[in-house]
Copies of this chain bind each other. A is one copy, B any other.
Amino acid sequence: MSETLRLSAPVAPGGTIGILGGGQLGRMLALAAARLGLKVCIYSDDADAPAFQVAAHHRVGRYDDEAALAAFASACDAVTFEFENVPGATAAFLATHVPVNPSPHALAVSQDRWDEKNFVAKLGLKTPPFATVLSHDEAKAAFAKIGGPAVLKTRRMGYDGKGQAKVFSAEDTIHAFDRFHGAPCILEGFVDFEFEASVVAARGIDGTFAAYDPPENVHEHHILRRSTVPSRLSQAQSEEAQIIVQRIADAFDYVGVLAVELFVTRDGALLINEIAPRVHNSGHWTLEACAVSQFEQHIRAVACWPLGDASRHSDAVMENIIGEEANDWEALAARGGALHLYGKTDPRPGRKMGHITWVRERE
């Protein structure tokens, strides 16, 4: 890159953190920033983004509008993002104007399942077996290598189960590849896991690292339904999980919160499923069960503040409110626990509309 990246410096109270993306994660980041006396400016291509409602400033613009991005950058002391599908060019462009964390490099790697898998494999960390699929021939070869059942996944833009297909034969694999219109894919071995877990952690500008206790996660229809802490992980597994994430964060020279989704196999191994270079749904319980939530932790990191205390003072269960479940808000409000609604008006199927966290004294 010919232009110089802007270096990070502490953002004093009253300063402005720019956030790319205006969904619920941006909204909860904005609320956390407000608690610290920081302003936020939300940049989104959605004129009705939920995060706008709680932000001191917001801008509506396309992610490839360099003039709008430059104006946004000039209004911010530091910039971060709430979703990992920010175009790489957008992050790189902004980074020449204002400090951007996590780094565009971490963003780019985690946007591509193939790059991501290779990145963690090179660190010596375990993943399900995987192989590249860029053609019919590779589809056949990949299935021959991995065996069935397996899961064909597009390398880019997948989330909540989109761009995934379970396959049982080479022919299945080819058909799925065609259904994805020949987009670059990887084939992953299907893991018959005992349960799923994740680690949400933060790395500060000074390299300090703070991990939250790993929750156990239950998905329904590929969408997170419930996260529970403590999980069924043993103490040793929990520590191993946190070390995995620290190695990834260090390798990226990462600044901010990241999440790593794990499969816990029946023989106790931890396999890396996915890296999210951002705050994560499976960390929402930290709002109630920790003094400093994942959202505040991320803001602290990108503002170059010291990380806060990530220790968990309570046990917690978090459940998502999905689609039309949100319509019954009066019943939800009476269910006890801490109710969060994201200010979204259209409860379409599969859309995350809110969540509830119940806390109780640690056992």
Closest-CB distance, A218 to chain B (whole angstroms): 21
> Is A8 at the interface (CB under 8 A from chain B)?
no
A54-B54, A336-B308 given; A291·B359 CB < 8 A: yes
- B337 pairs with A309, CB closer than 8 A: yes
Number of chain A residues close to chain B: CB under 8 A: 50
Name the B residues within 8 Å of A329 (CB-CB).
12-13, 37
- Tell which of B55, B292, B357 touches A338, judged by Cβ atoms closer than 8 Å: B292
> Is A223 at the interface (CB under 8 A from chain B)?
no
Q: Which single residue of chain B is at the shortest CB-CB distance from A353?
A: B37
> Is A358 at the interface (CB under 8 A from chain B)?
yes
Name the B residues within 8 Å of A337 (CB-CB).
291, 309
> Is A339 at the interface (CB under 8 A from chain B)?
yes
Q: Which single residue of chain B is at the shortest CB-CB distance from A52?
A: B56
CA distance A300 to B336 in the complex (A): 12
Contact code string A342-361 (vs B, CB < 8 Å = 1, else 0): 11110000000010011111
> Is A267 at the interface (CB under 8 A from chain B)?
no
A35-B31, A330-B10 given; A291·B288 CB < 8 A: yes
- B36 pairs with A54, CB closer than 8 A: no
- B343 pairs with A13, CB closer than 8 A: yes
> Is A340 at the interface (CB under 8 A from chain B)?
yes
Name the B residues within 8 Å of A343 (CB-CB).
13-14, 34, 37, 39
Name the B residues within 8 Å of A292 (CB-CB).
338
Contact code string A186-221 (vs B, CB < 8 Å = 1, else 0): 000000000000000000000000000000000000
Q: Which single residue of chain B is at the shortest CB-CB distance from A296?
A: B338
> Is A306 at the interface (CB under 8 A from chain B)?
yes
CA distance A36 to B339 in the complex (A): 6
Contact code string A277-302 (vs B, CB < 8 Å = 1, else 0): 00000000000100110001000100
Name the B residues within 8 Å of A121 (CB-CB).
none
> Is A135 at the interface (CB under 8 A from chain B)?
no
A313-B361, A333-B300, A360-B313 given; A354·B54 CB < 8 A: no
CA distance A360 to B311 in the complex (A): 10
CA distance A27 to B31 in the complex (A): 11
> Is A85 at the interface (CB under 8 A from chain B)?
no
13 contacts between A and B (CB under 8 A): A12-B329, A30-B54, A34-B54, A35-B339, A35-B340, A37-B329, A37-B341, A37-B343, A54-B56, A288-B291, A306-B334, A308-B338, A313-B314
Q: 10 closest Cβ contacts across the A-B interface?
A: A37-B341, A53-B56, A306-B334, A34-B54, A291-B338, A305-B333, A13-B341, A37-B343, A309-B336, A313-B314
